[in-house]
Amino acid sequence: MKKKFSKIGKLLLVTGITASIYGGFLAKDASAELNKLDYDYKYTCSMVIDKSKNNITKNQPDAVPTGSCKKYTSGYYFKDQWDTFYSINGWGSKNVNYSGEPFIINGNIKMVVYRIDSSKKLKKNTVMHIAKDKKINVRKTASSKGKIVTSVKQDKTVKVKKVFGSWVQVTANKKTGWVPRKYLVDQVTVIEVVNSTMKKKITKKPTDSLLIGQTEVAIDGQNGKKTTVYKTKYKNGKKIYKKIAFTEIEKPVINSVVYVGTRESFLDKR
């Protein structure tokens, strides 16, 4: 049975003698980043770890993910005189290195983890990213019961107008409304999976064993399939970088070979 760490256990895990153990005691149900076997995940969820509200050294509660990930993991922020980090835990613990980092949970769920500090004041007209799985609803009033005026997809941007308690008035899709402060982050790293076809090449080879106008396929060949995973970092709506995380060849390219006849007649003496 999967067991969540107690706050005391987590503190012991990262201090003093146990620091040398920490690196090898990772969650069996959570793997950092997407690797070559992970981009075919079936479900998604997200979690926001707030530096000012999920600090276990101050006995604050853990961050809780959305959807089905709730039963597998939680998150927290840790800081002492030796170390500072954001982390998720399940059977073990795994550091969150940047806002928007993906983790594979329970083998087939991609959980994107965001890092924020909601104690920082948001300035008017600041562009922020949405840190909620799939999308967030923008409401007419600062209430979860307010009428929905529009919605914004995960990682996309809104512009801050003003803050009212735990809610922020924003503009999005040319409309104005309210969203919870905890779902606004200043930077995200987006993972994009692109499937593409690698076209085969056709090589034609002359042969006098065929008449002019005749052809014969020696190797039929096949188009290849490639999956490329891109990692793009954005800060306040601006692209910082885009790079290839990895490329996987799903099906190799096999080029075709076609013989083309050059002989005018089989009566020719050659």
> pLDDT digits over 131-185, tens only?
999 999 999 999 999 999 999 999 999 999 999 999 999 999 999 999 999 999 9
Q: Is residue 269 part of a domain?
A: no
Judgement on whether residues 12 and 48 belong to the same structural domain of the protein: yes
Structure tokens belonging to residue 159: 């512009």
- Amino acid letter for position 190: V
- What tokens were used for 199? 């076209």
Using pLDDT thresholds of 50, 70 and 90, give the confidence band for residue 90. Answer: confident
Total-model pTM: 0.75
Q: Tokens representing 181?
A: 């402060």
CATH code of the domain in which 246 resides: 2.20.230.10
- How far is it, in rounded angstroms, from Cα 241 to Cα 231? 8
Q: Which residue has the tokens 């999308």?
A: 135
Q: What is the predicted pLDDT for the residue at 11?
A: 40
Residue 202 clears pLDDT 70, i.e. is over it: yes
Q: Taking CA 31 as the corner, what is the angle to CA 26 and CA 36, rounded to the nearest 5 degrees?
A: 140
Structure-token pair, residue 145: 């019961």
Domain that holds residue 135: 121-185
From the number of C-beta atoms within 10 Å of its C-beta (0-12, 13-18, 19+), residue 164 rates as: exposed
pLDDT at 91: 55
Same domain, 208 and 243: yes
Q: Which of 83, 117, 151 is the last residue of a domain?
A: 117
Same domain, 170 and 248: no
Which of the two residues, 181 and 25, has the higher pLDDT score? 181
Same domain, residue pair 132 and 243: no
